[in-house]
Amino acid sequence: MGLGTITKKRTWLVTGGAGFIGSNFILAQSLDPELTIINLDKLTYAGNLKNLAGIKNHHNYIFVHGDIGNESLVQELLQTHRPQAVINFAAETHVDRSIQGPGAFIDANVVGTYRLLEATRSYWAALPLNDKETFRFLHVSTDEVYGSLKAAEPPFSEESPYAPNSPYAASKAASDHFVRVYHQTYGLPTLVSNCSNNYGPFQFPEKLMPLMILNGLQGKALPVYGDGQNIRDWLYVEDHGEALRLVLERGRVGETYNIGGDCQKTNLEVVQTICSLLDQVAATASHVPHASLIAFVEDRPGHDRRYAIDSTKIRQELNWRPKETFDSGLRKTVHWYLSHPEWVSAVQTGAYRDWVKQHYGQL
Ligand code: NAD
Ligand code: DAU
């Protein structure tokens, strides 16, 4: 039985809701007048309350500044707001940063998730039987836990073995395992989703798409790692959010659901497509064609060659389908970055410039 069918008025504790996917998710779900969302976010460099400015005064939205690893804070939030679900987006998420310093990833993704699970378990254990049965803990994870595919291999299914290759991927894999354990050992009603690469509004410009869009608009080099032939499976962020809502409300407890766009592209194809769109929207720029800005740079260590997701399970069981195509989603994304210069300049702070300088050097 799904959450939505039990009671109309619901409360969810969402963690990491000031980041890219979490804020898109909260904005979409906040249209539901029966739902109250408590957003617990540490506001790391990737967290941005500007993403949620449109709903900050809504009576059914509450922001709490804090760490998922702060067990007593999470306990207090659970006792005060009595949510029917916890949805965990909170994580350190950038692979390149994880290579430079794995520690923060272990703290947030492994220890943080463990402490969030502990706090949730003790709240859940004391719920009345009916509420215990309908409660859900949804852990938002990644396809990177499955490692890298060879060109001819079939896409990752829910049965693919875990084989993480970066500190980020290992930390997410460990957190997935802990979520599994809390279901198997303690009976906590958990769900895990493993999704492919997202793109869309509010993505921090350290990630491929926003980095290329903004560098292109600003006439800067477009740094493509290695030979640019690594493949990612792209999904528009709102389609991910819709999938998560379905998993939460109708997914089978203890199960994993793979979510992907069925949209495999090489990085070079992605960058070239962005360049063609920029040629249209910034036709008079001095650096047209934008593809002339492409610069092949040193490869990412341990760089996964290919990701691809087999999303048959969620399509068949929950009748989920992505609404955006790569073409429509990418157009929306480019347009969003073009039409939000104040958001862009606010995130391109000194700290952001320091990262770019440290990671890419003088391009
Ligand atoms: P993001 O980096 O944009 O946002 C992460 C958010 O988590 C930020 O708001 C940050 O402040 C917050 N946070 C970090 N550590 C925290 C802590 N200890 N306590 C509370 N808040 C904390 O990330 P994203 O791209 O939105 O990813 C969200 C989730 O989805 C992550 O778990 C990630 O692994 C997963 N995921 C991302 C993608 C993708 O393509 N971006 C794909 C699949 C899965
Ligand atoms: O697959 C899901 C994952 O997708 C999420 O779990 C991660 O949180 C998210 O960051 C993303 O990981 P990737 O490593 O695939 O994303 P990123 O945007 O960093 O890179 C995408 C591809 O582009 C990858 O093959 C590396 C390449 N790249 C990236 C950057 C930042 C470049 O060629 N140049 C760059 O400057």
Residue with tokens 């617990």: 40
Instruction: Tell me the H-state helices in 152-191.
Output: 167-186
Is 34 assigned a catalytic role?
no
Tell me what pLDDT residue 199 has.
98
Is 304 assigned a catalytic role?
no
| Ligand 2 cavity residues, CB under 6 Å | 93-95, 142-144, 196-197, 207-208, 211, 223-225, 230, 232, 267, 300, 307
Contact 11, 78 (CB under 8 A): no
Tokens describing residue 315: 């399509």
Residue 170 Cα distances to 46, 52, 103, 142, 162, angstroms: 20, 30, 12, 11, 9
Calpha distance 223→175 (Å, rounded): 31
By CB atoms closer than 10 A (0-12, 13-18, 19+), residue 71 is middle
Residue nearest to atom 35 of ligand 1 (CA): 141
By CB atoms closer than 10 A (0-12, 13-18, 19+), residue 161 is exposed
Calpha distance 206→105 (Å, rounded): 16
- Expressed in angstroms and rounded, the spacing between residue 241 Cα and the centre of ligand 1 is 13
Question: Which one of the listed residues 41, 92, 144, 233 is annotated catalytic?
Answer: 144
Calpha distance 291→96 (Å, rounded): 24
Tokens describing residue 76: 């207090």
Tell me what pLDDT residue 4 has.
45
Contact 258, 314 (CB under 8 A): yes
Contact 124, 140 (CB under 8 A): no
| pLDDT tens per residue across span 39-51 | 999 999 999 999 9
Residue nearest to atom 34 of ligand 2 (CA): 224
- Expressed in angstroms and rounded, the spacing between residue 183 Cα and the centre of ligand 1 is 22
- Expressed in angstroms and rounded, the spacing between residue 210 Cα and the centre of ligand 1 is 16
Residues 6+ apart with CB under 8 A from 1: 133, 134
Cα-to-chain-centroid distance, residue 242: 13
Calpha distance 67→152 (Å, rounded): 42
Domains of the chain with bracketed CATH: 3-202+234-262+303-325 (3.40.50.720)
Give the number of other CB atoms < 10 A from CB of residue 157. Answer: 14
Which residues in the chain come in under a pLDDT of 70?
1-7
Is 307 assigned a catalytic role?
no
Calpha distance 216→225 (Å, rounded): 16
Tokens describing residue 8: 């109309």
Residue nearest to atom 29 of ligand 1 (CA): 89
Residue nearest to atom 28 of ligand 1 (CA): 89
Calpha distance 51→203 (Å, rounded): 10
Eight-state DSSP code of residue 109: I
